[in-house]
Amino acid sequence: MQKEIVFIDMDNVLVDFKSGLNKVNEDILSQYSDDGTDEHKPHYDDIPGLFSLMDPMPGAIEAVKTLATRYDLYILSTAPWGNPSAWSDKVEWVKRNFDSDSKDGVFYKRLILTHRKDLCCKDGAFLIDDRPRHGAKNFGDHWLSFGEDGKYKSWKEVLDFLMTRP
């Protein structure tokens, strides 16, 4: 029997974005504190090398190993268009944290970087994501809104739901 698919976002789902920021020099942070628009928002995700500095979210590594026993897992993430190192940093992060250099690694060749997550939306596939952006909300009832503002606040809650489904 074919396993159901679960897509997992990276930033603030698998990886703790703030943990990377905490490792960046204050001078560099200040360079990226204003995006130059009328909104004056920070654009920290454009900091070269930032994505290589991030730690896993609490419980993420263990949860993925548990989910892999029942589901067909893929990472479905975006990467800033203006920060080419983010793309390679994400690949390296996955390899480092999930032994995905090896064909036995849970995410070996299972990393999808896109700004259109909705293109992966298919019958029965779940998406664990912290934000509805980039098409995540199109997963409807199969979008597991993750994080302190989401329905699923922790990896334990995600596991409680996904691992007890019939």
Here the tokens at position 46 are 């454009």
DSSP track, 70-115: TSEEEEEE---TT-HHHHHHHHHHHHHHHTTTSTTSTTTT-EEE-S
11 is catalytic: yes
Give the H or E element holding residue 161: helix 155-162
9 is catalytic: yes
**CA angle centred on 20, ends 19 and 25, rounded to 5°:** 115
**Which residues are part of the catalytic machinery?**
9, 11
